[in-house]
A and B are shown apart, each in its own frame.
Chain A
């Protein structure tokens, strides 16, 4: 949060944003499935200047035991930022923000994972934010879906995520750090394109009812773009040219 700098030019007269993108253009996205040796599944994503690593373990025994559920498996998610991931050093202990984001990402992934197939077990998703630049929860959720798929855990669909937002009274796709700080609204969206279900949705900032509907629409379309890159990452690992 903090100061919203009104003097910064977020959108120029040609409809170009502060980092040179058009209003409906996402940042550069690179997703890689796998990479970690010990984890059952993993993924790495670069989303603009965000760099995020996700490792998945399980289904495995639950400790402490009383957390286990005899009817279904459970999903546990930890979203964690490295102290060096942001401008000023971040205290490594989990903040209230990180605890909330962990919960929101967990609830966004749960509809996608067939947890009922593994009663009494846990699937653990560890998200490490190596470098943060606005939109980490969306990038993390996108990578976590790929890591779960990479772990071979049965899923109904993957969750793709991106933020819509509003700067200079214009609805935009993929809010970066400057736009989040100085813009008017930020709406992270997680969406399962196969099942057409929104599983993560948050908003801060003021939108008219029309802008609200437009933001949801722009976000959903953005998620469909991200979804293609998730599928490509998995395809590259399992069916791609592995000569390199």
Chain B
């Protein structure tokens, strides 16, 4: 997905020509994200799940919740981890084998956005302090690629977490033991929303699709929380932004994120 082939150069010329007229290849406004479709409870064996479509990008996220040992220095907090994987069936260029740097970055940025927003109140996920806590694992798999996996994985994970029901455990003979029939929603503090913006020439576009992703100069992913604060950011790509552009992207992420948050909120309400 990163080559400077002749086709990419032609593609870039065409995309830039359209941008000069205020248009995008798929007819969207520059600050408009693609339609987001969310199907929850796609994997009933998981504790929560979501299958999301961001335009033609498709991601499935399953959440598994199970007892775990706490980290030695945070015995009063549960665990949260989010991963992301690009499946070989998602694009002809994806190969099997250990994850490449772009996929490692994807997984870490997705995790960071949710973690830094403090979406899950991990202090409520303790079975017995220093001995046993609840671990929440949100695993994303990309099944179809059309650009902007950062936002797609973030939305899938957030929707799956909002869709999750956690079982209850209690300590019996020093072992965490399942309490039958007691399920509740995860303790949620806030709903993080990631918004990725690409810089192509001197234009900033929200939610770049696959064609735009191939030809962009650089990108920035900004995660905001329900209070309208900014809680995580990652710049990428082989060019830079001016200070004004970074400020503008901050404002855009709050504006665009607010709409998407409403959609995620309805997932939370349906689960109750």
| Chain A residues within CB distance 8 Å of chain B | 1-3, 69, 71-72, 96-97, 99-100, 102-104, 107, 110-111, 187, 192, 195-209, 212-213, 216-217, 220
Q: How far is the CB of A179 from chain B (nearest CB, A)?
A: 16
**Chain B residues near A206 (CB, 8 Å)?**
116-118, 225, 229-231
> How many angstroms between the C-alpha atoms of A104 and B220 in the bound complex?
12
Q: Say yes or no: B247 contacts A216, CB within 8 Å.
A: yes
Interface centre among A96, A102, A208, A209 (most CB of B within 10 A): A209
| A–B Cβ pairs within 8 angstroms, 22 of them | A2-B74, A3-B74, A96-B107, A96-B108, A97-B108, A99-B101, A100-B101, A104-B236, A107-B218, A111-B240, A197-B239, A201-B234, A206-B116, A206-B225, A206-B229, A206-B231, A209-B250, A209-B251, A212-B247, A212-B250, A213-B250, A217-B243
Q: Say yes or no: A3 contacts B73, CB within 8 Å.
A: yes
Tell yes or no: B238 within 8 A of A by CB: yes
Residue of B nearest to A102 (CB): B101
A-B complex: 7 closest residue pairs judged by Cβ atoms: A197-B240, A203-B233, A201-B235, A199-B240, A110-B238, A204-B116, A103-B101
Q: How far is the CB of B75 from chain A (nearest CB, A)?
A: 9
Residue of A nearest to B223 (CB): A203
Q: Say yes or no: B104 contacts A196, CB within 8 Å.
A: no
Q: Say yes or no: A99 contacts B104, CB within 8 Å.
A: yes
Q: Say yes or no: B231 contacts A196, CB within 8 Å.
A: no
Tell yes or no: B210 within 8 A of A by CB: no
Residue of A nearest to B107 (CB): A96
Q: Say yes or no: A103 contacts B240, CB within 8 Å.
A: no
Q: Say yes or no: A111 contacts B242, CB within 8 Å.
A: no
**Chain A residues near B254 (CB, 8 Å)?**
209
Q: Say yes or no: B229 contacts A111, CB within 8 Å.
A: no
Q: How far is the CB of B223 from chain A (nearest CB, A)?
A: 9
**Chain A residues near B104 (CB, 8 Å)?**
96, 99-100, 103
Q: Say yes or no: A207 contacts B229, CB within 8 Å.
A: yes
> How many angstroms between the C-alpha atoms of A237 and B246 in the bound complex?
35
Chain B residues numbered 209-265 whose CB sits less than 8 Å from any CB in chain A: 218, 220, 225, 228-243, 246-247, 250-251, 254
Q: How far is the CB of B243 from chain A (nearest CB, A)?
A: 6
Encode contact with A along B152-183: 1 for CB under 8 Å, 0 otherwise. Answer: 00000000000000000000000000000000
Q: Say yes or no: B243 contacts A220, CB within 8 Å.
A: yes
Interface residues on B, range: 35 or more
**Chain B residues near A71 (CB, 8 Å)?**
4
Residue of B nearest to A192 (CB): B240
Contacts A100-B104, A107-B218 supplied; 13 other A-B pairs, CB < 8 Å: A2-B73, A72-B4, A104-B235, A196-B242, A198-B246, A202-B233, A204-B115, A205-B116, A206-B117, A212-B250, A213-B247, A216-B246, A216-B247
Residue of B nearest to A205 (CB): B116
Residue of B nearest to A159 (CB): B240
> How many angstroms between the C-alpha atoms of A111 and B235 in the bound complex?
13
Q: Say yes or no: A107 contacts B232, CB within 8 Å.
A: no
Tell yes or no: B27 within 8 A of A by CB: no
Tell yes or no: B105 within 8 A of A by CB: yes
> How many angstroms between the C-alpha atoms of A71 and B2 in the bound complex?
13
> How many angstroms between the C-alpha atoms of A110 and B235 in the bound complex?
13
Q: Say yes or no: B243 contacts A203, CB within 8 Å.
A: no
Q: How far is the CB of B13 from chain A (nearest CB, A)?
A: 15
Q: Say yes or no: B240 contacts A69, CB within 8 Å.
A: no
Tell yes or no: B203 within 8 A of A by CB: no
> How many angstroms between the C-alpha atoms of A212 and B250 in the bound complex?
8
Interface centre among A102, A195, A200, A216 (most CB of B within 10 A): A216
Tell yes or no: B102 within 8 A of A by CB: yes
Q: How far is the CB of A87 from chain B (nearest CB, A)?
A: 12
Q: Say yes or no: A100 contacts B105, CB within 8 Å.
A: yes
Q: How far is the CB of A203 from chain B (nearest CB, A)?
A: 4
> How many angstroms between the C-alpha atoms of A96 and B103 in the bound complex?
10
Residue of A nearest to B77 (CB): A3
> How many angstroms between the C-alpha atoms of A219 and B198 in the bound complex?
22
